[in-house]
Each structure stands twice: as structure tokens, then as C-alpha cells.
Amino acid sequence: MTITNQETATQTLTHFIGGEMIAGKSERFGKVYNPSTGEVTALCPLASREEVNEAVEIAQKAFPAWKNTSVAKRVEVIFNFRNLLVEKTDCLANIIGLENGKTISDAKGEVLRGIEAVDFALNAPHLLKGEYSINVGGKINSYSIKQPLGVVAAISPFNFPVMVPLAMTMMAVACGNAVILKPSERVPNSALFISELWKKAGLPDGIWTVINGDKEAVDTLLANPKVHAISFVGSTRVAEYVYHEGTRHNKRVAAFGGGKNHMVIMPDADLDQAVTAFLGAAYGSASQRCMAISVAMPVGKGTAEAFVEKLKTRVEELKVGAYDDADADFGAVISQESKETVIRYINESLSEGAQLCVDGRHPEINEKEKGYYLGATLLTGVTTEMKIYQDEVFGPARIVVGVNSLDEAIQLINDHEYGNGVTIFTENGAAARRFTEQIEVGMVGVNVPIPIPVGYHNFGGWKNSRFGEGQMFGPDTVRFFTKTKTISERWNDTKDIVNKTEFSFPSNQ
């Protein structure tokens, strides 16, 4: 997985191509940091256009044999892979923590959610079944089959180095495709570790490829005509770019972007439950989740005052710390640049009139620690005109926006450019029903803090949170990674043969 440079004692990582760890040839590298300490832990190779295209060729050559492998055999390999994931959960969690900064307990939870996607892929024999109709007309039988696309690519983000790549790729493998994963260059080790598990599980060489890189690698995958589909998760700006570039090159693209997820708190809600739910959903993983709750939206002045009073104390108690600190509620953000961006949003909102309820800009951290730490920040008095409300803020700065009614809450949420996730806390079934029916958001919760679907339901936002019609979890992943072929056939007995030209549809006979 790594090559050690004896002069600098720096680990130089590799790609995984054709079943082997392959050193990069481009002589370009990106630094990989430990967010908890700020130290450089490795150098990640940034693939050239030639390296990416070579990897695609190797995957293309491996594809036909995997396509023709029985689905039962494919599932056997996936089951072996699942067992290895379970066995190596602690190792994976430690790798995630080192490179992403999230706590070990949070990282273990990520691995378990990723295994949900593996479990769903084990259902491939059922999900790949086609349709069959007898005698649609003129003694013709008609049936459909699902066939893999060929080489497909997944471009994954830094915030979920294991869960998202598994969610993006498991059904692609199960359907018989050859998969190329381009992980975030900030967190490459998880993908390389997973590659070793695939090898041990018995996946044929070339069916799973990890190519590390930056925009050059992404653009090459988008342009290569032998890559038939792209699944992407990242910022909305890049998601839109990937979608337009990919479809311009006639690819099937599902590009998942950012979110600004609201939690509506009704006057009849259990405020203690709502506060507890908000804490985990808002600040978990240092708020570096596309499904993190960004905005608390209490309905009515009394609700807002009571909610903030309870919430303030709980937020002040949250502890930020190193990924392996068992007492930490969340860890560092991914980079110094990210930390500075979050602080800038906080400062700008204060200049625009927001009030600082809890200040997490300068957390008390051991002076020896050089990591990218931000404590939990809570801002009140935020209005919809402020940038901190309009933009996705990928860090632990959360806001409270008060409204006077449920209708006002629905309107504000529907007016926002993002439509990833939303939730409402209420004891009123009628209010919940009206909310779930009228809200223009892809994933909706009722008394559920983060409405991420389980692995066998579809995952996908609306509006500028997703480009394309693909899903990440669920049955739509089968449709995304396959193409349907419909076959009509007739087998005549000798006595049925009529040498007569037909001009009508057989179904009319």
C-alpha cells in the first residue's frame, strides 16, 4: 500500500490497478495530513491522464469475464468481502480517524453504514431478474434482461472515506461492472485498504481499481469513452461540473452535491428530545456531513426562546478533540483552509447582525496540538439574507432561524437552493403529514434527526443537491448500473409456418 522514502521517512502511497499496488508515474504528489495533529502523514500520487487511461484499459479487458460470471459467484465474492470488512472494522476506523479526523466511535459507525450497502448488494440475484410475458401476440414471447454497462467510475469525498465509496460501488460490482474509484486525495488510505480486502475476497484482478488523483484524473474519467457511468459525491459546484461534463461525453451521471438541512421544531415538540437530536445531527463528524442539520427552525417566539435556552447549555458542554480521544464528541475539521473558511462565515454573520450564542472559534486544546480544531458554535438572530444561511458551511457552526408558522417554515425551506435533507419535530400527525407532502426536499424525517435512508431504500436529494436521476443506496442503483435489453422471440412448429407477409402488429392477431 505504501512505499517508504528512506531519506524523508515519508510514506508515498500507490494506486491499485490490475490487482496490484502500482507506484505513481506522474511525479506529482499531494500531501496527506492528520487533521488531529496537522502533520503530513503521506504523499498521495496524482495520476496523469495517461495513467488513468491505462487503468481504464486494464479494467475494460477484465470486464467481459466478470460480466459472464454467474451472479451467484459474484455474490459469493461480495459475501467474502463483507466478512473481511467486519473483521477489519477497527483497522478501517483507525485509518478513517487518522486521515479524516472523526472520532473512532464515529468512524466505526461509518463502516457499519457502509456494510449496509454490501448487504443490499447480496440481493443482486433477485434484483437482476428481468420480466417475461408469454404469447404477447402471434405466439411471440417477450422478455427483458439487465446487463452491466462495462467500466464505471466513482469519485468520492473526504468526509466518508469508507461509507460513500461502498454505497457508490457495491451494486456496480454485483451487477457485473468493472469499477474505478477515484477517492479524495485527502483520504486515500481507506480506498487502498479496501482494495486489499477485495483481493483477499477473490475479486478478479482489474474489476476493482483505485486511481488517486486530482482534477486531471477526474477530467480524464469524464472524457474517456470507455467509462460509461460516473457516480460523484462532493460540493454542489463540482457536482454540477461533473454532471455537465459527463453528460456532454454521453455518460450516465449521478452527481450528489451539498445541502442546507433544516430542523423544524413545532411548539408541541418534546424540546429535550429535539435538543438531543439536534446536537448529534448538527455537530457530529465536526458537521462535515452533507446530511448534517445546519439550521434549527423553531416555530413561534416562545418555542425559539425555550429551545435555545436548553440548547445553549448542551452545546457548551460539547468537547472537540483528537480522533482517538475517547472523551471527544467530535474531531478536527479536514484542513486549515476549511477551519479558516468556517471562521470567516461566523465573522461575516456577526457583522451582518447575528448574535453569538456559543463561540467555538478558539477551543481549549493542548498547545502541542497543531490540528485543525473548531469548537461548537451556535448563532442566533440569523436571517435568510445572510451567507451563513444561504451557503453550506462544512464545519461546526450552526444557526437558529425563527419563524412564525409551519407555512412560513415550509416556504423558506422550499425557497432554498438545496434540497438534500430536512426534518420536523412534532407530536401532531396532521402537521407532520402536511410537512412531508408539501416540502420540496429529497429525504425527509419526522422526529428523526438525520433522515438518511437505510441501505435498501433510495438516497438522493432534490434541487441543487443532486444532478442526474441516479440514487446512491437502494434499488435505483441497479437501474443506474445496468442497461435493459428487451427480446421478442417466436419458435414455430413446422405446421405453423405461413409464407405470408404480415403488415399488422402480432399483438393484434
Instruction: Give tens-digit pLDDT for 296-321.
Output: 999 999 999 999 999 999 999 999 99
pLDDT reported for residue 459: 84
- Report in angstroms the alpha-carbon separations of 60 from 48, 66, 159, 246, 467: 19, 10, 30, 19, 26
Residue 461: HSE in the Cβ half-sphere, 13 Å Cα cutoff: 27
pLDDT reported for residue 496: 62
Rama region for 38: left / alpha / beta (φ>0; ψ in -120 to 50; rest): left
**pLDDT band, very low/low/confident/very high, at 239 (cuts 50, 70, 90):** very high
Nearest-angstrom CA–CA distance, 296 and 317: 18
Nearest-angstrom CA–CA distance, 241 and 214: 14
Q: Is 484 helix (H, G, I), strand (E, B) or coil?
A: strand
Instruction: Give tens-digit pLDDT for 382-410.
Output: 999 999 999 999 999 999 999 999 999 99
Phi then psi dihedrals of residue 229, to 5 deg? -150, 150
pLDDT reported for residue 245: 97
pLDDT reported for residue 369: 67
**pLDDT band, very low/low/confident/very high, at 7 (cuts 50, 70, 90):** very low
Residue 418 has pLDDT above 50, yes or no: yes
Which run of H or E residues covers position 70?
none
pLDDT reported for residue 455: 76
Domain 49-257+465-486, CATH: 3.40.605.10
Q: What is the DSSP code (8-state) at residue 372?
A: -
- What pTM, to 2 d.p., does this model score? 0.93
Domain locations in the chain? Answer: 49-257+465-486, 261-446
Average of pLDDT values for 456-461?
82
Tell which CATH classification among 3.40.1280.10, 3.40.309.10, 3.40.50.10860, 3.40.50.700 matches the domain 261-446.
3.40.309.10
Residues carrying an active site annotation: 290
Nearest-angstrom CA–CA distance, 509 and 507: 5
pLDDT reported for residue 276: 97
Residue given cell 422471440 in the structure block? 489
Nearest-angstrom CA–CA distance, 328 and 101: 11
Instruction: Give tens-digit pLDDT for 462-496.
Output: 899 999 988 888 888 999 999 999 999 988 876 66
Phi then psi dihedrals of residue 178, to 5 deg? -100, 130
Instruction: Give tens-digit pLDDT for 150-176.
Output: 999 999 999 999 999 999 999 999 999
Residues sharing a CB contact under 8 Å with residue 169, sequence separation 6 or more, in sequence order: 154, 179, 181, 231
Q: Could you give the percent of the chain with pLDDT greater than 70? A: 94
Instruction: Give tens-digit pLDDT for 99-135.
Output: 999 999 999 999 999 999 999 999 999 999 999 999 8
Burial class (CB in 10 A: 0-12, 13-18, 19+), 93: buried
